[in-house]
C-alpha cells in the first residue's frame, strides 16, 4: 500500500462514485468562514496512515472543513429513504453531510470519510445543512466510547468549528464532524430504490454491498440469501452488545441502520443510568418505540423491511422467497438471545453454560429494576465484591432492601463454585466485561457546555482519555459517578 505523502494528505480510492448517477448527487461541501481545528483523533489518523502534522496544517484544516476539495476525489451526497418511527419517507438522503471519499486502513479495508454539517444538498429538505457544535461533540465522544467498549461503530476523526452560527431553538456556534465508517449504506438505501420499483438499482446496490462487506459469499449459490443472513446475524449481535452496556440508540429508523453492522447516527442516544427496560431518552419518542427493551424487536422489524427490498433477488418466485425470508428472520430472536445471554452471563462471572444461569440473570435484573440501581455501577461493583469484604459491603450499599439481594448473592456465589476459575480470577475476568466508565449524559452535557460557552475543551479531552480504557481504574473516578438528582438529564435531542 502506498503511504500518503504530505503533499497529498488523503489517498482516496473511491468506488461508490462508480454506481449509477441516481445513487447520489455530486456536490462539494459548502465552505465555512473561519474553520478552526478543535479536536483531532491522533490514534485514528495513524490507523489510516494520515500524517498528523499535515492534518493540522492550513491545507489539512481546509480539507477537514470542506473549504478545499482534493483533486483526487469527487464528493457526493448519498440518497436513501427510510421508515422513521414506523412511517415511510420515500426520499431522505444526506441533507447535511458529504461523502468526501474512501480511504484504506492499515488492515486493508475500505472506509468512508464523511463531513457532517457540511452544508446544503438537494436532500436538505428546507434545512441549512449545518450542525451546531454541541451535537458534533456528542457524536465524537459517543462514537469513540463505543469503539473502546468493543462495539462496532462509526468513528470520529476531527471536530472543526466553522466560525459561523446556526439557528435552532437558539443561536449556536457551528461545527463539522469528520466521520469515518466502513460505509454509509443503510437499510433505507435499499428502500429508496425498492419503493420506486427500480429493481435494477436494488441489484446493483446489493452486488456492490456484498463485494464491499461480505466478499466471502460472492461465489455462493444464493449469495443474496446469505447476504440477508449475514446482516441479520451482525445486527442481532450489535443490539445485544448495546444492551449489555445499557446503551439506547434512541432513533432506530431504517435510515439509521447500517448494513455493515456498525452503530451509526448518534442523535438522541444515551447510556442508561438506573436499570429500567422502558427507559427512553429521545424527546420525540413519546410512545417509547425506541426504548431500551424494545431495541431487539425494532431491529427485527427493520430487518424485515430490508428483506422485502431484496426478496426478488433471493428467489424470483414470490412465495418461495417469502418462505426463505421468514425462515431467516425467525432466527433473529435465537441469535440475539445467544449473544445477549453469553455476554450478560459473563458480566455475572457465569462462564460455564449451566441451567441455573438464566434464573440468576433474570432475578438479578429484577432486583436491579425494583431497587432502581445504576446499571453500570451495579455490575461493576458486583465484580469487585469478590475481592474483599469491604468491596462486598460497598456493593450491598447500592441497594435499599438487602433481604432479596442477600439470598440472590448467596445463590450466586454458590453457583460460582462450579466455575473452573478461582474467585479472584472470576473477579478479574468480570471487570473486563463490566466497564467502570461510560459517557454519561450529564458528563457529555457539561463537556458541551464548557466547550461551546467557554471555549474550554479540557473536560472533553479528559473524558475521552478516561473512555479509552473504560474497564480500568483511573484517578478521575468522578467520571464513573451516576448523576445527582439535579444533574440527571432524561431527554436528549437530535440537535442537528
Q: Any idea which residue has 476459575 for its cell?
A: 421
Which of these, 238, 145, 240, 153, lies nearest to 440 by C-alpha position? 145
432 contacts 373 by C-beta, under 8 angstroms:
no
Sorted by sequence, the CB contacts under 8 Å of residue 195 that are 6+ apart come out as 81, 88, 90
Do the strands 87-89 and 97-104 form a parallel or antiparallel pair, or are they unpaired? unpaired
Q: How far apart are CA 304 and CA 216, in angstroms?
A: 23
DSSP SS3 for 37: strand
Q: How far apart are CA 305 and CA 319, in angstroms?
A: 17
Do the strands 97-104 and 270-271 form a parallel or antiparallel pair, or are they unpaired? unpaired
Q: How far is the CA of 104 from the CAs of 2, 11, 47, 98, in angstroms?
A: 10, 8, 9, 18
Q: Any idea which residue has 489510516 for its cell?
A: 48
Sorted by sequence, the CB contacts under 8 Å of residue 12 that are 6+ apart come out as 70, 72, 73, 100, 101, 102, 103, 113
DSSP 130-172: -EEHHHHHHHHHHHHHHHHTT--B-EEEEEEEEEEEEESSSEE
82 contacts 255 by C-beta, under 8 angstroms:
yes
DSSP 286-343: TT-TT-GGGHHHHHHHHHHHHHHHHHHHH-SSHHHHHHHHHHHHTTHHHHHHHHHHHH
Which run of H or of E encompasses 173?
strand 171-181
DSSP 57-112: SHHHHHHHHTSS--TT---EEE---EEETTEEES----SSEEEEEEEE-TTS-EEE
DSSP classification of residue 120 = -
The verdict on whether 462 is a catalytic residue reads no
DSSP SS3 for 5: coil
405 contacts 393 by C-beta, under 8 angstroms:
no
445 contacts 439 by C-beta, under 8 angstroms:
no
Q: How far apart are CA 226 and CA 220, in angstroms?
A: 8
Choice among 94, 112, 229, 255 that is catalytic: 255
The residues carrying an active-site annotation are: 255
Amino acid at each position: 500500500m502506498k503511504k500518503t505523502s504530505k503533499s497529498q494528505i488523503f489517498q482516496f480510492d473511491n468506488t461508490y462514485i462508480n454506481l449509477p448517477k441516481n445513487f447520489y448527487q455530486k456536490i462539494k461541501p459548502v465552505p465555512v468562514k473561519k474553520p478552526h481545528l478543535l479536536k483531532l483523533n491522533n490514534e485514528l489518523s495513524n490507523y489510516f496512515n494520515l500524517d498528523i502534522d499535515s492534518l493540522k496544517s492550513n491545507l489539512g484544516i481546509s480539507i477537514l472543513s470542506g473549504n478545499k476539495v482534493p483533486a483526487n476525489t469527487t464528493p457526493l451526497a448519498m440518497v436513501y429513504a427510510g421508515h422513521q418511527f414506523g412511517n415511510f419517507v420515500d426520499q431522505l438522503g444526506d441533507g447535511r453531510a458529504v461523502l468526501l471519499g474512501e480511504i484504506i486502513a492499515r488492515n486493508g479495508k475500505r472506509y468512508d470519510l464523511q463531513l457532517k454539517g457540511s452544508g446544503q444538498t438537494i436532500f436538505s429538505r428546507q434545512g441549512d445543512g449545518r450542525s451546531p457544535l454541541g451535537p458534533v461533540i456528542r457524536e465524537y465522544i459517543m462514537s469513540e466510547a463505543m469503539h473502546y467498549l468493543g462495539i462496532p461503530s462509526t468513528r470520529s476523526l476531527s471536530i472543526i468549528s466553522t466560525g459561523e452560527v446556526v439557528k435552532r431553538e437558539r443561536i449556536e456556534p457551528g461545527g463539522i464532524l469528520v466521520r469515518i465508517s466502513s460505509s454509509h449504506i443503510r437499510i433505507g438505501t435499499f428502500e429508496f430504490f425498492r419503493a420506486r420499483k427500480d429493481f435494477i438499482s436494488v441489484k446493483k446496490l446489493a452486488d456492490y454491498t456484498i463485494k464491499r462487506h461480505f466478499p466471502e459469499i460472492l461465489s455462493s449459490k444464493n449469495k443474496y440469501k446469505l447476504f440477508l443472513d449475514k446482516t441479520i446475524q451482525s445486527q442481532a449481535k450489535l443490539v445485544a452488545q448495546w444492551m449489555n452496556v445499557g446503551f439506547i440508540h434512541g432513533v432506530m429508523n431504517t435510515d439509521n441502520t447500517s448494513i455493515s453492522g456498525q452503530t451509526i447516527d448518534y442523535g438522541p442516544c444515551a447510556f442508561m443510568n438506573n436499570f429500567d427496560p422502558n427507559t427512553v431518552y429521545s424527546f420525540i419518542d413519546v410512545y417509547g418505540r425506541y426504548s431500551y427493551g424494545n431495541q431487539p424487536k425494532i431491529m427485527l422489524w427493520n430487518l424485515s423491511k430490508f428483506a422485502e427490498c431484496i426478496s426478488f433477488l433471493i428467489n424470483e418466485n414470490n412465495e418461495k422467497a417469502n418462505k426463505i425470508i421468514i425462515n431467516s428472520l425467525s432466527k433473529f430472536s435465537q441469535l440475539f438471545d445467544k449473544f445477549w445471554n453469553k455476554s450478560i452471563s459473563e458480566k455475572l462471572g457465569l462462564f460455564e453454560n449451566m441451567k441455573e444461569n438464566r434464573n440468576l440473570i433474570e432475578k438479578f435484573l429484577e432486583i436491579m429494576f425494583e431497587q432502581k440501581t445504576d446499571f453500570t455501577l451495579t455490575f461493576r461493583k458486583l465484580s469487585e465484591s469478590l475481592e474483599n469484604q469491604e468491596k462486598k459491603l460497598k456493593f450491598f450499599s447500592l441497594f435499599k432492601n438487602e433481604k432479596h439481594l442477600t439470598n440472590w448473592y448467596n445463590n450466586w456465589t454458590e453457583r460460582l463454585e462450579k466455575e473452573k476459575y478461582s474467585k479472584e480470577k472470576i473477579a478479574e475476568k468480570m471487570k473486563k466485561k463490566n466497564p467502570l466508565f461510560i459517557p454519561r449524559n450529564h458528563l457529555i452535557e457539561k463537556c458541551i457546555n464548557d466547550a461551546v460557552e467557554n471555549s474550554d475543551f479540557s473536560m472533553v479531552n479528559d473524558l475521552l482519555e478516561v473512555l479509552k480504557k473504560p474497564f480500568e481504574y483511573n484517578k478521575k473516578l468522578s467520571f464513573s459517578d451516576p448523576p445527582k438528582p439535579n444533574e440527571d438529564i432524561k431527554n436528549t435531542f437530535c440537535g442537528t
